[in-house]
């Protein structure tokens, strides 16, 4: 693929472009092909769009002015944060008529209020910087995910990002107390409230959270903070199977006083692949097991109570046969080494060839059933494919990834993408599960949305889109 | 006021009534004035509406059929749960043309799934019965509020009820994983998903949560459960002032590992009134103080760690002068006696004459400032009025109640309702607070909504109402 030049992408009215340039100034104007390139290529390098210009506004007023001008000219806008989404939701189409509005320059933390456990932040703040800002106020901002070094909070909120701490702290949606949004007509909705209770009419922020920029542009937010854990216990646990992992989780939640902050399931194949490709990692256990859980418990004060609860539950689970072996980290370094295995899976797996990915969720109680049923169904039809079902068991969220057969042809594997998706998604939806647990819809899962949502639900979504964005200028071709 | 007879309220077409009677049958048909009376009088006995009939459907299909018939005839519906709301949102107007649809017969628990920490319940389930059902599955359903013996979960969700556990577990909105809703055209949206992560398009449930039945009728829900606490520590704490209470809360949250499940602030006047009017209650402390906090901490396992954390923080706070005195309950009976003081305030205060009530919220960090500023402003104008500012400090939610002067005239006091509201609500909104933290809008706070919401926000709310309920048949005259 080749990036189109500005000249080729000329259909946007030059007079509009001049107005937009006046709004953002030189610092917010990106129109050279080389400079544009990273803004129009999606994270997984599956989609290269075109745009005449990337606008980088510095304030909410600038965003509003951009939207007003574009609305008047019926020119579409693609709101963009860190451009780390996995489903093509943050890149323009190939018409050259969509203008990218990147929020990266709006990166001020407007206020930190430790006593209210909240901070007011602009959309372009990098997630890792918010984590650090909270920590420097002796607080925790719990949202944590692979892209945290480059993703932006506006994008996290617009996509309702998940990650590894959802079990205890909720998705991005649950972390938002208030929003500031530029609506598709260019007006500004100031919903920057920092309240724990507010029942004054419809709770409008939920329209924009998770809407992937199709209903407006989130420009700022009030997000929750939490006490910073002083005591973190991490354990790698070999379990009998995924069902035993699920029971262990339920017991740990009770015994630890709801202190389980991470609970990741990994079958052995994940370990094999990680140790095969990533240097410096080693198996903390003396022998290999079929199923593992990486559990993390966190508490505010280091009293030994958390470690004790963990040991008691593990001892009981060993006796019941749910757990076969376990290693509790004795240091932060050991805990990090355990997490490195989990976090290393996606990178290591890139060396294994082509992967058909699913990001699904079912009720936590049905995870084992789902993995068994879907694995059998895939293997029945494709005996040589290798299944990596791992992930956030504590949220019922499995990354059900299917590797190409060893030594097979990547293209031949990817040619089965649709057929494999159908097998897996039919099963997950049949279990009242989600065919996109944390990655959203974006551009790539629209057909799945169309296929699996009820006519009532689809119609409601489309009517809401039509109501808020009657001109269809907000991130067209995404979600609905 | 006088209840209208069916004959007087005749304007509803008898043919429609016959169709509705065929839908619900005799068991769901209430048309005798005596039987109707409790359904048309609001909880605070401020509003007596009229209705030709109260329908009590037994299934979602019956609700849908009712709505279809009423939509076709352009006849308005007032959805109703336990009719315990404080702002007149669940009673009909006085035209006799609005039909009450009470969900009380839809009271089945459809499923309890302890491993997924969730249950699927019908709208008419009584809150206290859901708490008991969760407990019998060794789980906690944390929603808890004064009316829990008669309010229904459908109403709790429709009003986004708050209560005493919001600090730790969230409002009713946060407890809902999925909903089933009959839309204003009579179609059924089945959103009964029991998932912790699901990013498949717009999250429609948030439209109906807190909408007070103006956008549809919630007929069932999947709600979250939590581990049942094994260790509960309760303390009555005399604090220097409300500001010290706020700092104490922040420290307790950290030290206890986010185990603070209740944190209620009470000034001395509340104690005086409770001991004056309620028998069997006594002050757990030897002498009187100006400001109190009732704190509750909960943990999954009784290890002594919670008590220890509480004692350490209290000792530190004593040293810092934040805390002046404290009593930790040594038994469940002692804890109950402490809570009885807090829960006794509304009942005791009924003996004190007329009360002008405010249910407001500000950021937790600004509670002390709000109480001081609003108290001064009210006293400046009305020196003899007595202020009871108490409540859920942990959520920033104060019940800022103003008692009539001692020995004064109740009617004269209530005549100042609007003027006092203006003083208090102007201050709270000026602090970016909420003029209705947990009680909603209903019928009685619509003028406040109109006054304090921005034109952008009001317009958005009205457009959503117009989109979902173009005929305006769902609980008209409420919220927007």
Query: Per-residue pLDDT tens for A1-58?
Result: 344 444 454 589 999 999 999 999 999 999 999 999 999 999 989 999 999 999 999 9
Query: Per-residue pLDDT tens for A137-162?
Result: 999 999 999 899 999 999 999 999 99
Residues in B closer than 8 angstroms to A362, CB to CB, are 195
Residues in A closer than 8 angstroms to B470, CB to CB, are none
Task: Provide φ and ψ at B119, rounded to 5°.
Answer: -140, 150
Write out the DSSP string of B309-338.
HHHHHHHHHHHHTSEEEEEE-SSHHHHHHH
**Whole-number pLDDT of residue A137:** 97
Query: Long-range contacts for A7-11 (Cβ within 8 Å, ≥24 apart)?
Result: A8/A50, A8/A96, A9/A50, A9/A51, A9/A52, A9/A96, A9/A97, A10/A52, A10/A96, A11/A95, A11/A96, A11/A97
**Whole-number pLDDT of residue A10:** 54
**Whole-number pLDDT of residue B4:** 43
**Whole-number pLDDT of residue A256:** 83
**Whole-number pLDDT of residue A7:** 44
CB-based burial label for B167 (10 Å; 0-12, 13-18, 19+): buried
Query: Per-residue pLDDT tens for A102-112?
Result: 999 999 999 99
Where residue A300 falls among pLDDT bands split at 50, 70, 90?
A: confident
CB nearest to A437's CB, from B189, B197, B436: B197
Residues in A closer than 8 angstroms to B392, CB to CB, are 197
Interface check B299 vs A, CB under 8 A: yes
**Whole-number pLDDT of residue A97:** 96
- In sequence order, the 6+-apart residues with CB closer than 8 A to the CB of A447 are none
**Whole-number pLDDT of residue A450:** 97
**Distance (Å) from the C-alpha of residue A240 to the closest C-alpha of chain B?**
17
Helices (H), ranges, A258-304: 268-277
- Sheet of A109-113: strand order equals A109-113, A118-122, A217-224, A176-182, A188-191
pTM, 2 dp = 0.95
Residues in B closer than 8 angstroms to A179, CB to CB, are none
Interface check B210 vs A, CB under 8 A: yes
CB nearest to B189's CB, from A167, A457, A464: A457
228-287 in chain A: CB under 8 A from chain B: 228-231, 246-247, 250, 253-259
Q: How large is the average pLDDT for residues A425-437?
A: 97
**Whole-number pLDDT of residue B259:** 87
**Whole-number pLDDT of residue B10:** 54
Measured between CA atoms, the residue of chain A closest to residue B176 is A174
**Whole-number pLDDT of residue B303:** 72
Q: How large is the average pLDDT for residues A203-217?
A: 98
CA dist., res. B245 & res. A41, Å (int): 52
CB nearest to A361's CB, from B167, B198, B230: B198
Query: Per-residue pLDDT tens for A228-248?
Result: 988 899 999 999 999 999 999
What is the full per-residue pLDDT of chain B (480 aa) written as tens digits? 344 444 454 589 999 999 999 999 999 999 999 999 999 999 988 999 999 999 999 999 999 999 999 999 999 999 999 999 999 999 999 999 999 999 999 999 999 999 999 999 999 999 999 999 999 999 999 999 989 999 999 999 999 999 888 999 999 999 999 999 999 999 999 999 999 999 999 999 999 999 999 999 999 999 999 999 888 999 999 999 999 999 999 899 888 878 899 999 999 999 999 999 999 999 999 999 999 999 999 987 777 878 988 999 999 999 999 999 999 999 999 999 999 999 999 999 999 999 999 999 999 999 999 999 999 999 999 999 999 999 999 899 999 999 999 999 999 999 999 999 999 999 999 999 999 999 999 999 999 999 999 999 999 999 999 999 999 999 999 999
Predicted complex ipTM: 0.95
Query: Do the Cβ atoms of A210 and B203 come within 8 Å?
Result: yes
Tell me the Ramachandran region of residue A427: left when phi exceeds 0, alpha when psi lies from -120 to 50, beta otherwise: alpha
**Whole-number pLDDT of residue B289:** 98
CA dist., res. B475 & res. B383, Å (int): 40
Where residue A163 falls among pLDDT bands split at 50, 70, 90?
A: confident
From residue B464, alpha-carbon distances to A196, A201, A472, B458 in Å are 24, 11, 17, 10
Task: Provide φ and ψ at A279, rounded to 5°.
Answer: -80, 150
């Amino acid at each position: 693929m080749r990036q189109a030049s500005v000249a080729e992408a000329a259909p946007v009215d030059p007079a509009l472009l001049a107005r937009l340039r006046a709004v953002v100034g030189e610092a917010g104007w990106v129109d050279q092909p080389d400079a544009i390139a990273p803004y129009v290529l999606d994270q997984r390098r599956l989609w290269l769009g075109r745009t005449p210009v990337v606008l980088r506004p510095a304030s909410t007023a600038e965003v509003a002015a951009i939207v007003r001008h574009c609305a008047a000219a019926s020119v579409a806008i693609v709101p963009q944060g860190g451009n780390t989404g996995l489903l093509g939701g943050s890149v323009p189409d190939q018409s050259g008529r969509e203008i990218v509005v990147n929020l990266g320059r709006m990166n001020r933390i407007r206020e930190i209020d430790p006593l209210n456990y909240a901070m007011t932040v602009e959309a372009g703040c990098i997630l890792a910087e918010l984590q650090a800002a909270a920590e420097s106020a002796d607080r925790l901002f719990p949202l944590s995910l692979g892209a945290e070094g480059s993703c932006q909070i506006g994008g996290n909120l617009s996509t309702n990002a998940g990650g590894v701490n959802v079990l205890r702290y909720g998705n991005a949606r649950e972390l938002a107390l208030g929003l500031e949004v530029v609506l598709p007509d260019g007006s500004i909705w100031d919903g920057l409230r920092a309240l724990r209770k507010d029942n004054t009419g419809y709770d409008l922020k939920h329209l924009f959270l998770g809407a992937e920029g199709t209903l407006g542009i989130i420009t700022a937010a009030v997000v929750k903070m939490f006490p910073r854990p002083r005591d973190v216990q991490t354990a790698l646990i070999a379990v009998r199977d995924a069902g035993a992992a699920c029971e262990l989780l339920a017991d740990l939640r009770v015994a630890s006083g709801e202190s389980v902050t991470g609970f990741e399931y990994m079958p052995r194949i994940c370990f094999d692949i990680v140790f095969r490709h990533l240097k410096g990692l080693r198996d903390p256990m003396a022998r290999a097991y079929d199923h593992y859980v990486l559990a993390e418990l966190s508490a505010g004060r280091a009293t030994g109570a958390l470690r004790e609860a963990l040991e008691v539950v593990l001892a009981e689970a060993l006796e019941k046969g749910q757990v076969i072996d376990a290693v509790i980290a004795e240091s932060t370094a050991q805990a990090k080494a355990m997490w490195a295995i989990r976090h290393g899976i996606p990178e290591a797996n890139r060396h294994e060839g082509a992967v058909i990915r699913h990001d699904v969720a079912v009720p936590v109680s049905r995870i084992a059933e789902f993995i068994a049923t879907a694995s059998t169904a895939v293997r029945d039809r494709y005996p040589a494919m290798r299944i990596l079902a791992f992930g956030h068991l504590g949220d019922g969220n499995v990354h059900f990834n299917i590797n190409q057969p060893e030594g097979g042809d990547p293209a031949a594997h990817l040619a089965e993408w649709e057929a494999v998706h159908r097998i897996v998604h039919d099963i997950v939806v049949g279990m009242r599960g989600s065919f996109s647990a944390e990655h959203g819809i974006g551009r790539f899962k629209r057909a799945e949305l169309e296929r699996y949502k009820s006519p009532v639900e689809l119609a409601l979504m489309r009517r809401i889109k039509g109501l808020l964005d009657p001109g269809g200028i907000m991130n067209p071709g995404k979600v609905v």
